[in-house]
Structure formats: C-alpha cells, structure tokens
Amino acid sequence: MDIERTAPAVGLVGSVLLAAAVAVPAVAVESGAGPMAAYYASGPVGIAIVGLLALVEVIVLLSGRQERTDPATAAGLAFVLALTMLGISVTWAFAIDPTVLFSFPEQYSWISYHRWSVLGAASLLFVGTAGYARSVL
C-alpha cells in the first residue's frame, strides 16, 4: 500500500466529513427552534472555526499530494491544523452546557449525538494527516 497517497486521501475524507458535520445543524435546524448560537459558541472558541479550518485543510492536503507545495511543508501544516481542530473539537464537545444541548425540540433530538460525529470526523482527519506526515517526514 502506498501510504504517501492513501494517508492524504483519508485526511481529505476526514476534512470533508468534518466540514459537513459542523455545518449540518446550522442547515437542518429551523431558526428559532433552539439556542443554535449558544450551541455553536460553546467552549473557549466555539466550533464554527473548525468548519473553516477543515476547508483550509482540504487545500493544504491537495497541494501537498499533488506536489504543488513542498510535501514536507504541507504535511507539517496539515498535521498542526488537524491537531488544532481535534483539540478544539474535544474541548467543544465536553464544554456544551447540557441545558443548551437538550433545549432543542424533540424532532431535533439527534443533536445530542452530533458532537460525537464531529469528534469522529476530527479523529479521522487527525489519523490521516498523522500518517501523511509520518510518511513524508
């Protein structure tokens, strides 16, 4: 198996899944249905920045994989971004106030599991970028 090609692909899948996971509640939950702003702002910096960084990560991984940027530089930057996103995601997931989390109407009860999907996508992204950095460096 060519780990130098497979690892960034895993990271790319993780990046897209993470960006989508962060965006789903904003798109799926009707405005006024609950304290969405408080949900996204939980933790020290909130989770919205993770969605933006996940999209930047796609660019970094693609530029390193296609050798448009020095692969070692891209791998290092991708690893640091992934570690940052994982740290923010973990902090956010455990900082959500239960009152906010369970204040959504019953039709949005899936939101109580949403934080774990964000953590799963962030973990997949981290594993992919760690493998990419290890193979390149």
> Given a cut of 90, is residue 4 above it in pLDDT?
no
From its phi and psi, is residue 11 left (phi > 0), alpha (psi between -120 and 50) or beta? alpha
Amino acid at position 130, single letter: A
Give me the long-range contacts of 57-60 (CB less than 8 A, separation at least 24). 57/11, 57/15, 57/81, 57/82, 57/85, 57/125, 57/129, 58/12, 58/15, 58/16, 58/19
Of 18, 13, 11, the C-alpha closest to 117 is 18
Which helix (H) or strand (E) segment holds residue 83: the answer is: helix 71-95
Let me know: does 124 contact 15? Beta carbons within 8 Å. no
Task: Inform me whether the pLDDT recorded for 1 exceeds 80.
Answer: no
Q: What is the pLDDT of residues 24-81, one digit of tens each?
A: 999 999 877 668 989 999 999 999 999 999 999 999 999 999 999 999 999 999 999 9
CA angle 61/95/47 to nearest 5° reads 35
Question: Which pLDDT belongs to residue 5?
Answer: 83
Integer Cα distance of 11 and 118 in angstroms: 14
Span 77-117, pLDDT tens digits = 999 999 999 999 999 999 999 999 998 889 999 999 999 99
